[in-house]
Amino acid sequence: MFMHFDESMQIIEDQKITHYKTKKLYLMESLGYVLAENIIADHNSPALPTSAMDGYAFRHEDITLGRLKIASINPAGSALKEKVLGGTCIKTFTGSLMPEGADTLIPIENVEVEGDEIVIKEEVPFGFSVREVGENYAKGQKLIAKGTMIDFPQIGVMASLNVISPLVYEKPVVSILSTGSELLELGQTQTNDAQIRSSNNYILEAIAVKYGGRALQMGCIRDDKQSIQDAVAAALEKSDIVVTTGGVSVGDFDFVKDVIAELGAEVLFKGVRIKPGQHIMVARKGDKFIVGLPGFAYSSTVTALLYVLPLIAKLQQGKCALRKVKAVLDEPFKKRAKKAEFTACNLRLIDGRYHIDFKEKKVGTSAILTNMLGEVALLFTGEEEGSKEKGDEVTVLLLG
C-alpha cells in the first residue's frame, strides 16, 4: 500500500535525534558547517563613540563660530588623550574613537583648511557621522542562532568577537552503494551489451557533498542477498545515512528490503505515491537512517533530493536546502499520473517572478538524467492536482 507524499514528508519531519555529534573547528575550517551553539556578543560594538568618516571632531554648539582651531590629529587606533575644548577641533579618521568632549564630526569635504584652522563651508546636524555605542551589536545580544549554516557573514561576525573555534555539528557521513550485477564502475571495461555504466553512486555523492554531508563511496554491489547485507551492515558501522540505489521494487532480485529488516532496522515507510520513485523506502536504526532509492537515474536523483536532504539537515539541526516557490507556467503541462509528480523544468527569473517551461526536456521513463541539465527546478504537482494551462501559477522546488 503506497502512502501519500505528504504523509511520508511528515514522518521524516517527526523523526527525533537522541544524540547529535558536535566538534570544535578552527574558525576558517567551520565554513559550510552548521553552528551547534548560539553566538552571543560579549561586548558592545563599538564600545565607545567612534568616527564614521574622515573629518574634524568638535562640539556642535561651536558650529556657529564658523571657524575652529585644529588642536590635534587623531589617527585610527591611537590612544588620544587630548580633549576637544571650546572653539577647537581634532582631526579624526574613520574608525577612530571620538575625542572626549566632541559630539559631532564634520567631514573634510565640508571645510577648508587655513593654516591651523578650519573654515566651515557646509554645516552638519548634531551627532553627525558618530557611531554610537552598540550601533553594530550590543553586549548580550544573540547575533547568530544555533542551527545556522556558517557562511562568510558569520565568519566575519565571529572573527569580530574573537571566536577562534566555534562549536559545530559534524557533517553526517552518507554512505552510498548501488546494487546491480549489470553495473560498471568508471573505467571498467564493458564485456556485454547488458552492462550499463553506473552513474547513481556518483550523482548521489555529489548531492551529499553539495548539501552538507560527507560522502563515503561504497561502490557497486552484486545482486545477491549476502553481498547486499554485508555491504549495508559495513556502511551502517561507518556512517549516519546509508543510501542504496536499486533493489527496492518488486523484482526477483530486489533484496534490499529484506536485508534492512534482518539488520534490525525499523522501516519507517515503503512505497509512496510519487512520480518518479514510488518504491522509495526509509528505515531507521538508532540515530542512523537507511534510504533505499530506485535504480533509474532520474528517480534516484529526485528521491535523494526529497528524502536524503532533509535527513542530512536533521542530523545537524539545520534547514533543508530545498525551497518551494511560486512560478508562472509558460506552456501547458499534462499531468501523467494520479500521484505527486516532480517534473524537471527550465527556470527563469523575469521581472521579479519565476517562470518555467519544458523546452528540450524529454518525456519518457524515469531514467532520463539529462533532463536535470541546465537551469533546472522541479515542478511539483500534488496527486489531487490535474493538468495545468499556460499562465497558471504553479509550485516549484528550487535546488539550492
pLDDT of residue 183: 54
pLDDT of residue 79: 73
pLDDT of residue 137: 94
Three-state SS string across the chain, please?
CCECHHHHHHHHHHCCCCCCCEEECCHHHHCCCEECCCEECCCCECCCCEECCCEEEECHHHHHHCEEEEEEEECCCCCCCCCCCCCEEEEECCCCECCCCCCEEEEHHHEEEECCEEEECCCCCCCCCEECCCCCECCCCEEECCCCECCHHHHHHHHHCCCCCCEEECCCEEEEEEECCCEECCCCCCCCCCCEECCHHHHHHHHHHHCCCEEEEEEEECCCHHHHHHHHHHHHHHCCEEEEECCCCCCCCCCHHHHHHHCCCEEEEECECEECCCCCEEEEECCEEEEEECCCHHHHHHHHHHHHHHHHHHCCCCCCCCEEEEEEECCCECCCCCCEEEEEEEEEEECCEEEEECCCCCCCCCCCHHHHCCCEEEEEECCCCCCECCCCEEEEEECC
pLDDT of residue 253: 36
pLDDT band at 180 (very low <50, low <70, confident <90, very high): low
pLDDT tens digits for 188-206? 666 665 445 556 788 899 9
pLDDT tens digits for 242-293? 998 875 554 533 566 778 888 999 999 999 999 999 989 999 999 999 999 9
pLDDT band at 227 (very low <50, low <70, confident <90, very high): confident
Maximum mean pLDDT: which of 245-254, 317-326, 350-359: 350-359
pLDDT of residue 258: 78
pLDDT tens digits for 145-155? 999 999 999 99
Q: What pTM value is reported for the model?
A: 0.82
Q: What percent of the chain has pLDDT over 90?
A: 74
Compute the mean pLDDT over every residue in the chain, rounded to the nearest whole number: 90
- Residue with the larger pLDDT of the pair 89 and 82: 89
Task: Work out the average pLDDT over 384-394.
Answer: 96
pLDDT of residue 77: 74
pLDDT of residue 160: 94
Task: Work out the average pLDDT over 297-320.
Answer: 94
pLDDT band at 1 (very low <50, low <70, confident <90, very high): confident
Least confident stretch, 69-83, 110-124, 173-187: 173-187
Task: Work out the average pLDDT over 22-46.
Answer: 97
Task: Work out the average pLDDT over 136-164.
Answer: 96
Task: Work out the average pLDDT over 26-43.
Answer: 97
Per-residue pLDDT for 49 more than 50? yes
pLDDT of residue 367: 62
pLDDT of residue 199: 66
pLDDT tens digits for 96-121? 999 999 999 999 999 999 999 999 99
Task: Work out the average pLDDT over 81-103.
Answer: 94
